[in-house]
Amino acid sequence: MSHHGFCIWLTGLPSAGKTTIAKALTPKLKARGWNVELLDGDEVRTGLSADLGFDRKSREMHAARVTFVSKVLARNGVIPIVALISPYATSRSRARTDIGAFVEVYVTTPLNVCEERDVKGLYKKARAGLIHEMTGIDDPYEAPEHPEIIVETVDRSPDDAAEYILRELERLKWLAPTKEPAAASPVSHAPSAPRATGVTGNA
Ligand SMILES: Nc1ncnc2c1ncn2[C@@H]1O[C@H](COP(=O)(O)OP(=O)(O)O)[C@@H](O)[C@H]1O
Ligand SMILES: [Mg+2]
């Protein structure tokens, strides 16, 4: 296999929508002929980082392990989709450098919305002082300064958010453009180059 994949790295606060968007995005990329592997922070913690806590060093180590796996996958033609809080800019910049083919997606849901969603009830626990090192409450989140893609999730469905990311990936030339859905050809979606070239006006 000669083509190279690329890493889609979703960062954002807890309950921002990283996991949900990653799950919506996965079948859409598969439908375009890509092999996709979802590396969800929580799942990877069980499988690869069970020894780690939530202090800065642990979070950086966790991100470094995910980075390594992503690099291996991407160079074998897979799209790793990472859904990881990854609160530290240095971790993300290391991932960018190490992986190379890297798209940082900032899921930019405001803290108050995340706290309202509180998917795992952790904000409530943190506010009550029952847990500590909760990102956004008593642990830092360094928002990306120059992400390739910024996706908002307020007043927008997860599917819309995933579609928006697809459009952005096309615009950034990581994905080949598709024709309008009605005219889409089933044979034109297989990835064959490290980056999609020959976009509109250049074909
Ligand atoms: N546009 C959207 N994108 C992603 N999630 C959304 C969106 N709108 C509402 N949600 C909801 O927000 C929550 C996000 O949870 P989750 O994906 O687990 O967050 P994270 O993985 O970032 O911690 C889910 O309950 C999801 O249904
Ligand atoms: Mg998640």
Q: In this structure, is residue 186 part of a structural domain?
A: no
Q: How high is the pLDDT of residue 3?
A: 83
Of all residues in the chain, the percent with pLDDT exceeding 70 is 87
Query: Residue 85 CA: which ligand 1 atom is closest?
Result: 22
Query: Residue 13 CA: which ligand 1 atom is closest?
Result: 22
Domain count, the chain: 1
The closest ligand to the CA of 12 turns out to be 1
Q: In this structure, is residue 164 part of a structural domain?
A: yes
Of all residues in the chain, the percent with pLDDT exceeding 90 is 86
- Partners of 7 in beta bridges: 102
> Does the CB atom of residue 135 touch ligand 1 within 6 A?
no
Provide the greatest CA pair distance for the chain.
58
Residue 149, H or E segment: strand 149-151
Stated pTM of the model: 0.89
Question: E-strand spans in 4-148?
Answer: 7-11, 35-40, 78-83, 102-107
Looking up residue 117, the CATH number of its domain turns out to be 3.40.50.300
CA of 153 to the centre of ligand 1 (A): 8
Residue nearest to atom 23 of ligand 1 (CA): 15
Q: In this structure, is residue 189 part of a structural domain?
A: no
pLDDT in tens, 91-140: 999 999 999 999 999 999 999 999 999 999 999 999 999 999 999 999 99
pLDDT in tens, 168-179: 999 999 999 986
Q: In this structure, is residue 166 part of a structural domain?
A: yes
Q: In this structure, is residue 203 part of a structural domain?
A: no
Q: In this structure, is residue 196 part of a structural domain?
A: no
Q: How high is the pLDDT of residue 9?
A: 98
Q: In this structure, is residue 163 part of a structural domain?
A: yes
Mutate to test the pocket of ligand 1, among 8, 54, 119 (most ligand atoms within 8 A of CB): 119
Domain interval for residue 60: 7-180
Q: In this structure, is residue 194 part of a structural domain?
A: no
pLDDT band at 78 (very low <50, low <70, confident <90, very high): very high
> Does the CB atom of residue 158 touch ligand 1 within 6 A?
yes
- What the block records as the tokens of 134 is 């909760």
